[in-house]
Structure 1
Amino acid sequence: MSIAWDESLALGDPVIDDDHRRMIGLIALLEAAARGELGLDATGRVLDDLTELCREHFAREEDLQRRIGFPELDSHRIAHAMLQQRLESTLGHYRDGDDEVRAGIVRTLGDSLATWLLGHITGSDMEFLPFMGRR
């Protein structure tokens, strides 16, 4: 699945939207890596950056949801924690793996992350839009 930012994904919070744009850009780099356009070291840096960005973004988004009184914060937090755990585990396997393991991770990760992120933004993230007008 190819992924690109477009304004239909905007939530209207500049920081959250910028995070989503950056996440999409990093996932697009993983997709380029799967096509052989990025070396293994560069791909490792992309995974590092994505893992850290997600950690920071999830904290920002959950804080925003808390401030606006979003009632589904707990389920949102669980979804974030599950993806963060997956990213950190995958990053560990990437760091410890040989070239064949790394190539296998790259072949599958970008597509699955693109699917998750688009579903998350257009699904559960859009659910807190009505609450944003209250802040």
Structure 2
Amino acid sequence: IFFVDLPTKSVREEILKIHLRKKHRDPDQFDVSSLAEDSVGFSGAELEEAVREGLYDAFAEGNALKTEDIARALKKTYPLSSTMRDQLEDLRRWAKIRARLASDSDPEPLPPESGGRAPTLQQERARNPFVPRERA
């Protein structure tokens, strides 16, 4: 069994470049390094969505896509590493013993907790075994 952890900063940079190119944008026109720095704990899919959302927002405002548009989309996103932090930490511990790590690089620590709980949908709280139930 292979375990694929969250991407490191250098991998996040490459993922962002890939998705910018897929949207016919030149990655050299963006501060990809700062976006990667601001996206600790984000998955590749979450980075892809941030590029897409930034593009939609820029288009709605009648502007070309800029680094700030993607950064704003990242700030509005609750990454899986926030919503399922405990489960991810448990999975990392499990994988160290029982799985082969897909990457040679050490995983980055998860970002510090923001203090508030990430929002969850009522359906998630009712049916999702991965989301802790809130006590009344």
Q: What's the TM-score once normalised by structure 2's chain length? A: 0.30
Q: What's the TM-score once normalised by structure 1's chain length? A: 0.30
Bigger RCO (CA 8 Å, 6+ sep): 1
Question: More helix by proportion, 1 or 2?
Answer: 1
- Which one has a bigger Cα radius of gyration? 2
